[in-house]
Amino acid sequence: MSQEELLVLIYKKDEKAFTHLYDMYSKSLFAVIHVLIKNREEAEDVLQDVFVKIWKNIDSYNESKGRFYTWILNIARNTSIDKLRSKNFNNSQKNLSSDNFVNLLDDSNKLANKLDAIGIQEFVKKLKPKCIEIINLLFFKGYTQQEASEELAMPLGTIKTQNRNCINDLRNYLKI
């Protein structure tokens, strides 16, 4: 069955065509999703959501705007990003088991040693306390600028400006 024939049947909401569509594209879409979402079970859930969105929104696909594969690939990518940004997903990632804390402590000791070895700790100490706090949230804890804004009770624009200024200060200290 060609892609054009398949699309005609999917527009008609033919369930067998949808099964064929899944068979054709699920592996490649899962690969893209799994690159973004490292957890296999979460990635499988996102894949299911992607195919539901394809099924429900097939009428919004326009051949003149691009290839079908590109359209479904964008749905997979955007759904994955939505999942990564969701509060439930972020909270599940923050609630680690006690086994992970042992590894985190070991890793932080190794990181501290590496930082000392290259002398970066001296540069970080030169930053303003607010800069250290912002950089820690944005770069080391994976917060979005909006989340950092909420965490620090600062306007989003202020976070963006201070982040840019703090990075420039760090560049100046490192002479990059």
Question: pLDDT tens string for the chain (176 positions)?
Answer: 777 888 888 888 888 888 898 998 999 999 888 888 888 898 999 999 999 999 899 889 888 888 888 899 889 988 988 888 876 655 555 544 444 444 444 444 444 444 443 455 666 678 888 988 887 777 666 678 898 899 899 999 999 999 899 888 877 877 75
- What CA–CA distance (Å, rounded) separates 30 from 34? 6
- The closest of 47, 66, 55 to 11, measured between CA atoms, is 55
Q: Note the pTM of the prediction, 2 decimals.
A: 0.51
Contact 159, 131 (CB under 8 A): no
- What CA–CA distance (Å, rounded) separates 32 from 155? 34
Chain centre distance of CA 7: 30
Q: Which helix (H) or strand (E) holds 143?
A: none
Residue 86, SS3? coil
Q: What is the CA radius of gyration of the chain?
A: 22
Sign of CA dihedral 82, 86, 89, 94: positive
In angstroms, the first-to-last Cα distance of the chain is 56
